[in-house]
Amino acid sequence: MEKKGTILMQRYELGRMLGQGTFAKVYHARKLSSGESVAIKVIDKEKVLKVGLIEQIKREISVMRLVRHPNVVQLYEVMASKTKIYFAMEYVKGGELFNKVIKGKLKEDAAMKYFQQLIGAVNYCHSRGVYHRDLKPENLLLDENGSLKVSDFGLSALRESRRNDGLLHTTCGTPAYVAPEVINKKGYDGAKADIWSCGVILFVLMAGYLPFQDSNLMEMYKKISRGEFKCPNWFSPEVRKLLSRVLDPNPHTRITIAMLMENLWFKKGFKPVETRTRKEEEATFTQQDIAMSFTLDCNQEDQKANVANPMKLNFMNAFDIISQSQGFDLSNLFEKSSIQKAESRFTTQKPVSTIVSKLEEIAENENYKVKKKDGLVKLEGKKEGKKGQLGIDAEIFEVTPSFYVVEVKKSSGDTLEYQDFCNQGLKPSLKDIVWAWQGGDQQSQQQQPENG
């Protein structure tokens, strides 16, 4: 059970609880290495597995990896233990925009500033193929400078989620902020639905109450479907005109974000945030750049064993491999891998010294020479094959201090000889240290990890 002062994964010290829901709690935390404040979202793995929400968690990770914008809460790291999943996220200490609204309506210039930041962030999300689908003041946070941050992508959708008709079909969101086409259940454009929600938010910020409200939910839905709302008399003519175009119940004639951003009222004092293009982001995609990994809980004995290991290893972004948790395979979440595809690879919890010793033992038994350098173990056959001597590279990547991926691939020689060697010599001999194989022509879980 999490409580104040708990040290999480030897990386974060948990502080006070910031909020909680059915499946998750959010804590303030301090990063031990830097003293930096972060927010830790703690998700109960057993609960989400029980109700089938793992896909939603995976989608949220995938979306937050895609979206990196000053007005979007940043995901730093994802970690997991036997029973919990942890998101380490940017700590936004100004609280929810909702807290400002419940104190009363905002002045037009303040509402405009937040609306501009919201539209800038949503436009960026859409350019990355991400639709939020639950935009409301409760999901908009404010930092110490009063800048808006979009949060909670738990109900978001990716462009790839659309059906053959090019539309999304999952009904979700908060009733008062949901677009009429989402309610009608005939399919909807995620971007158009988000624009509607942004319009409701602008109305709420300036009016202090909702544009569509009724004690009877069905009556409220009728008002939404007809676009029936009335602006209070303090709304300027420019705002009234803009809202009539944003809260248009017909998605085909509703204003687009591109058109909205050209609106004269919207452009007053608007300073677009500079962001990198998708190509630029992919060109600079590194582990350090995204500062993200999937960390697994490990015991101190494993860590001590690996500290003594003299081999210099490369670090593997664990989003590219299978995670240690059953039913929580993150390996296919992202469209781009930072690892060159290998012919086969395996995961293991054994120390590097054990991995290397096992490879040396196999080499000796099969009459191969061994060379070692910086996490790479090269096995070289002593006899000539069809295409010369068979050479095999086994490269060890560190994911955490007690979890490794070993990529095995042919560096020279005949492919059939390589496959025979792998299936008849290498894989059977490694079964005591392998947790799971991926790739190649064999996939089997040899042992259940202790803390997965």
Token output for 301: 């004995």
Angle between helices 237-246 and 190-207 (to 10 degrees): 150
- State the fold for domain 97-260: Transferase(Phosphotransferase); domain 1 (1.10.510)
Distances (CA, A) of 402 to 271, 297, 307: 47, 8, 10
Distances (CA, A) of 342 to 148, 173, 254, 393, 406: 43, 42, 48, 10, 10
Count of Cβ atoms closer than 10 Å to residue 442 Cβ: 13
Which of 237, 401, 386, 223 is closest to 313 using CA atoms? 401
Pairing of strands 403-412, 376-385: unpaired
From first to last of its 452 residues, what are the pLDDT tens digits of the chain?
566 778 888 899 999 998 887 778 899 999 999 999 999 999 888 877 776 777 778 778 878 877 889 999 998 888 888 788 899 999 998 888 988 888 889 999 999 999 999 999 999 999 988 999 899 999 999 999 999 999 988 777 777 677 777 777 777 778 899 999 998 878 899 999 999 999 999 999 999 999 998 888 889 999 999 999 999 999 999 999 999 999 999 999 999 999 999 999 999 989 888 766 655 554 443 333 333 444 434 333 333 444 444 565 655 433 333 333 333 333 333 333 333 344 688 888 888 888 999 999 998 888 899 998 877 899 998 777 778 888 999 988 876 656 788 888 888 888 888 888 888 888 889 988 887 776 544 333 434 333 33
- Does the pTM surpass 0.85? The reply is no
Across 51-201, where does the E strand assignment appear? 75-80, 84-90, 130-131, 140-142, 148-150, 157-158
3-state secondary structure 207-250: HCCCCCCCCCHHHHHHHHHHCCCCCCCCCCHHHHHHHHHHCCCC
For residue 434, report the phi and psi dihedrals to the nearest 5 degrees: -85, 135
| Dist CA 179 CA 250 (whole Å) | 10
3-state secondary structure 397-423: EEEECCEEEEEEEEEECCHHHHHHHHH
Q: Give the catalytic positions in this structure.
A: 134
Helix extents (H) in 32-162: 45-50, 54-66, 97-101, 108-127
- Per-residue DSSP letter, 264: T
- State the fold for domain 298-439: TATA-Binding Protein (3.30.310)
| Whether the Cβ atoms of residue 172 and residue 183 lie closer than 8 Å to each other | no
- Which residues neighbour 361 within 8 Å (Cβ) at sequence distance 6 or greater? 429
| Whether the Cβ atoms of residue 418 and residue 393 lie closer than 8 Å to each other | no
Question: What are the boundaries of each domain within the chain?
Answer: 7-91, 97-260, 298-439
Task: Provide the pLDDT for residue 336.
Answer: 38
| Dist CA 357 CA 114 (whole Å) | 59
What are the residues facing 157 on neighbouring strands? 131
Q: Which CATH class for the 7-91 domain?
A: alpha beta
| Dist CA 99 CA 130 (whole Å) | 26
